Structure 1
Amino acid sequence: MKAEEISLTPQEVADILKITKNTVYELIKRGELPAYRVGRKIRVDLQDVEAYKRHGKNIEITPDPGIASCRTLPLNPRGYRPEETVSYQQGLVICGQDVILDILTRHLERHPNGVHAFRHYVGSFTGLLALYQGKAHMAAIHLWDGDTGIYNIPFVRRLLPGIPAIIVHLAYRMQGFYLAKDNPKNIKEWKDLTRPDVCFINREKGCGTRVLLDEQLRRLGLDRRLITGYEKEELSHLGVASTVARGEADVGLGNEKAGLQVRGLEFLPLHKERYELVIKKEDMEKPHTHAVIEILQSEAFKKEVQGLGDYDLTETGRIVAEV
């Protein structure tokens, strides 16, 4: 059988690369290793594993120090190394971590007015900062304001001062607790995080999940200093889920999609969030921006995302605000 006809499970990939299965999930999440779903199972083509190994050994990167740049991932990650640096001028840079953006960038390359797109895998605050500093063209965010209950609009106004922007809806996602199987600590609500017998694993400052947690703690009058593990951080939903699955924490906060990729976890839904794309208004008439909007509103894009499950696409592609 040819390499392109052989599909592997994450565990088989881990055995080939001599890494842990959780590391394989991280590579897939960051877009370094192409993968796809068959039902609820993740599969990786053998040819992609071989390409990852081959290029990891042979590619040399010599970025131009004279051009402002940021760490990003290209649309087609075959041959990509995490050390690679690409500049704002080399293609469209989209900030955000969700797999929905991988689908968007793939469709964008096939669109008549599309361009080569690069992914910058950062949280919401960092993405908006990159947009403000001219290091990115678009930023996907999920930032909840506890005073108003509104997503994203208040933060865009504060973090893009003087820059008119458009907010386009991507999807609704569910945030909740990652818990050990059968929830042995009987963790059910936010205040349970402050119990002395509960160990928590946190996300990094500035990401949407961390903002949701801190806003909920503030709103409920809960002291974060009482949360064991509050200062320990992971940089992705999968990293948090993996920490709980390994028994190094009792609970973490993240989205439902990532939690379903890790065995031995239960997911307790707590909060429905808006995941949305921020674009500078001055870029709205550019062909690639028109292409992005057309893709988000297309049935082909929605069907592909819907096939992943766990996304509510009721408003996908709708311009929800001009800030």
Structure 2
Amino acid sequence: MTADISYTTEEISKLLKISKLTVYDLIKKGELPAYRVGKQMRVDAADLDAYKMRAKSGKVYAAMPEAPIQQVQAQSATPSSKAAIVITGQDVSLDILSKHLERQISTHRPLRSYVGSLDSLISMYKGESDIVSTHLLDGDTGEYNVPYIKRLLTGNSYVVVNLVLRMAGLYVATGNPKQLLGWEDLKQPGLRVANREKGSGARVLLDEQLRLHGISPRQLSGYEQEESNHLGVAGKVASGEADFGVGIERAASMVGGVAFIPLIQERYDLVMLRKPEHAQWIESVMAILKSEAFHRELRPILGYDLSQTGHIVFENEGI
């Protein structure tokens, strides 16, 4: 019976031929009632049918065409009477932040969207997300995040605050058989790379370093093949399918047969749009970032530096 059927957000995305981020936008706007089962959000078939009937009559929010944003999942949702806070990014620190927000804010529900840094900023520009994380290196200035944020969020009022500092570098096989000790060593002929998807912070880091060191991506076998997360990249190196990949220290420690070559400390920041309706939860986010309870959960994570956590990096008042 229809009453016994429910759908995941991924299934709804395929049924309606829209992006999964759009599904979350429909939920955020109250068009699709949703509920949580463990870490997964589901929508009853009856509610989906009701939405489709309203869509046919032109009485619902217009869904966007399929967007190139992948790997979106919900990890926290409550009944749709609460306003949603969409948090984008792939780091575990964001899951911990989401958990703290859910405990402390009774008027909102956090929704997690697992997308890369550049796609996160674009989703904020489109009004699809509320808290975005980013670790994008501008190779010309050596600055993280702010140059990209300024270009994409022109005219908006926002605050950029540090979440964590993390070590990024190269994943290599145990023993480092290719002797890759720095970016310059990627000029070595015949190297195979396990690459990340376009728009991810790790992909931008690699591309910027290749550009700065005069290395053509065409020199690297496997450059066009993409993995969606750090563990996938580390796994390719561990299996011998690639000689190196770019990522963060924590993932290397989780995969056997992989060593980590630290090369740069990256600033992993949060961006929040300043709007009157956001004031309450922005204040809560800032308090959480500076709290001992939050820091206590982050400290054991390998490669995290919390010395700047909660520090405001940049603010823009908009037009």
TM-score normalised according to structure 1 size: 0.74
> What is the RMSD of the two structures over their aligned residues, measured on CA atoms?
2.8
Q: How much has 1:112 moved relative to structure 2?
A: 4.5
In structure 2, the CA distance between the partners of 1:51 and 1:99, relative to structure 1 (3 Å rule), is closer
1:153 and 2:139 are equivalent in the alignment: no
Aligned residues: 263
CA distance in 1, matches of 2:164, 2:72: 23
- 3-state SS of paired residue (2:299): helix
In structure 2, the CA distance between the partners of 1:192 and 1:322, relative to structure 1 (3 Å rule), is same
In structure 2, the CA distance between the partners of 1:112 and 1:199, relative to structure 1 (3 Å rule), is closer
Identity of aligned residues (%): 44
Query: 1:234-287, CA deviations, whole angstroms, 9 ceiling, x for partnerless residues?
Result: 111111011111111111000111111111110110111000000112258521
Instruction: Specify which of 18, 32, 48 is matched with residue 62 of structure 1.
Output: 48
- 3-state SS of paired residue (2:305): coil
CA contact (8 A) 2:197 2:227 kept: yes
- 3-state SS of paired residue (1:92): strand
Provide the residue aligned with 1:73 in structure 2: 73
- 3-state SS of paired residue (2:127): coil
TM-score normalised according to structure 2 size: 0.75
Q: How much has 1:107 moved relative to structure 2?
A: 0.6
Instruction: Specify which of 108, 111, 115 is matched with residue 104 of structure 2.
Output: 111
Query: 1:136-184, CA deviations, whole angstroms, 9 ceiling, x for partnerless residues?
Result: 0011000111111111111001111221221010000011111111111
In structure 2, the CA distance between the partners of 1:113 and 1:283, relative to structure 1 (3 Å rule), is farther
Gaps of 5+ in 1: 1-49, 78-85
Q: How much has 1:211 moved relative to structure 2?
A: 0.9
Query: 1:2-37, CA deviations, whole angstroms, 9 ceiling, x for partnerless residues?
Result: xxxxxxxxxxxxxxxxxxxxxxxxxxxxxxxxxxxx
In structure 2, the CA distance between the partners of 1:167 and 1:185, relative to structure 1 (3 Å rule), is same
Residue type of the alignment partner of 2:160:
I
In structure 2, the CA distance between the partners of 1:185 and 1:295, relative to structure 1 (3 Å rule), is same
In structure 2, the CA distance between the partners of 1:114 and 1:108, relative to structure 1 (3 Å rule), is farther
CA distance in 1, matches of 2:90, 2:100: 17
Provide the residue aligned with 2:256 in structure 1: 263
Residue pairs, 1:119-198, within 5 angstroms: 119-198=112-191
CA distance in 1, matches of 2:289, 2:255: 28
CA distance in 2, matches of 1:56, 1:297: 29
Q: How much has 1:56 moved relative to structure 2?
A: 11
In structure 2, the CA distance between the partners of 1:198 and 1:114, relative to structure 1 (3 Å rule), is farther
Gaps of 5+ in 2: 1-36, 53-59
Provide the residue aligned with 1:15 in structure 2: none
Q: How much has 1:195 moved relative to structure 2?
A: 2.2
Query: 1:177-224, CA deviations, whole angstroms, 9 ceiling, x for partnerless residues?
Result: 111111112222223323223211111111111111111111122222
Residue type of the alignment partner of 1:160:
L
Higher mean displacement: 157-166 or 185-194? 185-194
CA contact (8 A) 2:299 2:306 kept: yes
In structure 2, the CA distance between the partners of 1:112 and 1:91, relative to structure 1 (3 Å rule), is closer
Residue pairs, 1:5-84, within 5 angstroms: 62=48, 64=51, 66-67=60-61, 68=63, 72-76=72-76
1:235 and 2:220 are equivalent in the alignment: no
CA contact (8 A) 1:237 1:258 kept: yes
Provide the residue aligned with 1:247 in structure 2: 240
1:213 and 2:199 are equivalent in the alignment: no
1:200 and 2:193 are equivalent in the alignment: yes
